[in-house]
Amino acid sequence: MIWPDKDENLNQDVIDEFGHERAPFDYAKTNAKEALDNQFKAYYSPINLAKFNNESSVAADIGAGSGRWSERLLPYFSLVYVLEPSDGAISF
């Protein structure tokens, strides 16, 4: 199998659009913590997070946006890798 060059699979316009969509949502400055906590619980309900060892388990949040889910994963994992390729999502 011939794999494409990594840059052929990169669409900077899509990355930038995701960033522009997320940029207005600075959850750190809102009082929506309870609503976000409830959304997190619903989103991750198929996964029993309590089964992970918070002293040795590692997670990754790919396309993390503002990091609202990454922050909520921290109690369940010893380390959470966060990747957000869009400047717009992390510029605030």
In the chain, domain spans: 32-92
pLDDT at 78 over 90: yes
Residue 91 in this model has a pLDDT that exceeds 70: no
For every residue of 21-73, DSSP letters joined together read: HHTT--GGGSS-HHHHHHHHHHHTTTS-GGGS-TTT-EEEEET-TTSHHHHHH
Q: Summarize the confidence of residues 59-71 as an average pLDDT.
A: 87
pLDDT band at 25 (very low <50, low <70, confident <90, very high): low
Question: Is the C-alpha dihedral spanning 45, 42, 75, 80 positive or negative?
Answer: positive
Higher pLDDT, 68 or 14: 68
CA distance 91 to 68: 15
Summarize pLDDT for 26-60 with one digit per residue, the tens.
555 555 788 888 888 998 999 999 999 999 999 99
